[in-house]
């Protein structure tokens, strides 16, 4: 069995890929894939929200267009395309990023704060919990909100402490999970699996896309895991969902990140045995 990491760089504007051997625990990736099984959503269509590159997300077309819809967006940087398109659906967007001073776009439905989300309160660094923001914004009694989070690894701290009650306030949750392929000690692997198991209690994974900007774990020349995944979760109690081993990735709405090649994840739900 050959396990390697595939890395892609640009040389003179062209992507160049090479592979290197890596020491990992194969059983860990089997457990990760088992917890990231995709459910097929019945009676609903997918739409792409945001730019056709990194920063756009595939979502279930189940939006509250009444004008009372609330979306939380953590991690903006220089791209507010997802937030902008959510305003077309009549959502007010509560936007957070401690790394930027101003937004790359303006809307009367944007509510921006130079703060970030974390699993615990760190006020001296302008980092707060999601519960803190929900309470401050007066959204404690809101339901079926939308959450988008691309916070470069802080999602694991967030997921380690957030409660199922808080997650249940959101109809759809969009994540970018980071740091999935690099070697980890057992405590970090256990914590990552526990975080994913937590969100699975209230939500089901409806779509998954590999972020091609990072590295990918390769098993016998087949891509097993990208280092970063873009995920779309839906609140399980709000949808009719079924198991389906024939879901093939990527789908037509997916787009590669920036100028990198798309990652062919194939039949993601089929068992990929790392242990031989």
DSSP 37: P
- 276 in a domain, yes or no? no
- 120 in a domain, yes or no? yes
- 12 in a domain, yes or no? no
Q: Report helix, strand or coil for 1.
A: coil
Please, what's the b/e burial string for 159-181 (b: 16 or more CB within 10 A of its CB; e: otherwise)?
A: beebeeebbbbbbbbbbbbbebb
Among 30-44, 61-75, 204-218, the range scoring the smallest mean pLDDT is: 204-218
Note the pLDDT of residue 221: 62
Contact 192, 184 (CB under 8 A): yes
Number of domains in the chain: 1
pLDDT beyond 90 at 148: yes
- 201 in a domain, yes or no? yes
- 128 in a domain, yes or no? yes
- 80 in a domain, yes or no? yes
- 2 in a domain, yes or no? no
- Chain centroid to CA 132: how far? 21
Note the pLDDT of residue 276: 44
Question: Residue 206: which CATH number?
Answer: 3.40.50
Domain that holds residue 240: 25-211+222-267
Distance, in Å, from the CA atom of 221 to the CA atom of 204, rounded to the nearest integer, reads 29
Contact 263, 216 (CB under 8 A): yes
Note the pLDDT of residue 59: 98
- Chain centroid to CA 262: how far? 17
Please, what's the b/e burial string for 88-121 (b: 16 or more CB within 10 A of its CB; e: otherwise)?
A: ebebbbbbbbbeeeebeeebebbebeebbbbbee
- 259 in a domain, yes or no? yes
Note the pLDDT of residue 23: 62
């Amino acid at each position: 069995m050959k396990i390697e990491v595939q890395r892609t760089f640009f040389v003179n504007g062209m992507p160049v890929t090479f592979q290197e051997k890596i020491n990992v625990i194969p059983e860990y990736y089997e457990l990760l894939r088992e917890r990231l099984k995709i459910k097929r959503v019945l009676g609903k269509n997918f739409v792409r929200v945001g730019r056709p590159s990194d920063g756009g997300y595939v979502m279930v077309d189940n939006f509250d267009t009444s004008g009372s819809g609330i979306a939380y967006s953590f991690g903006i940087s220089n791209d507010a395309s997802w937030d902008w398109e959510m305003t077309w659906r009549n959502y007010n967007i509560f936007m957070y990023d401690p790394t930027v001073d101003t937004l790359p776009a303006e809307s009367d439905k944007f509510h921006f704060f130079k703060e970030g989300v974390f699993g615990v309160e760190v006020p001296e660094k302008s980092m707060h919990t999601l519960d803190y923001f929900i309470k401050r914004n007066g959204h404690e009694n809101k339901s079926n909100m939308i959450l988008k989070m691309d916070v470069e690894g802080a999602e694991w701290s967030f997921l380690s402490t957030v409660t199922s009650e808080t997650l249940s306030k959101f109809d759809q949750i969009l994540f970018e999970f980071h740091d999935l392929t690099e070697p980890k000690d057992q405590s970090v692997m256990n914590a990552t699996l526990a975080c994913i198991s937590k969100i699975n209690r209230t939500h089901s994974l409806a779509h998954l896309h590999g972020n091609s900007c990072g590295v990918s774990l390769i098993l016998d020349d087949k891509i097993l895991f990208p280092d970063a995944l873009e995920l779309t979760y839906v609140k399980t109690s709000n949808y009719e969902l079924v198991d389906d081993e024939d879901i093939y990735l990527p789908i037509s709405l997916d787009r590669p990140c920036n100028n990198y090649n798309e990652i062919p994840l194939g039949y993601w739900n089929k068992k990929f045995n790392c242990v031989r």
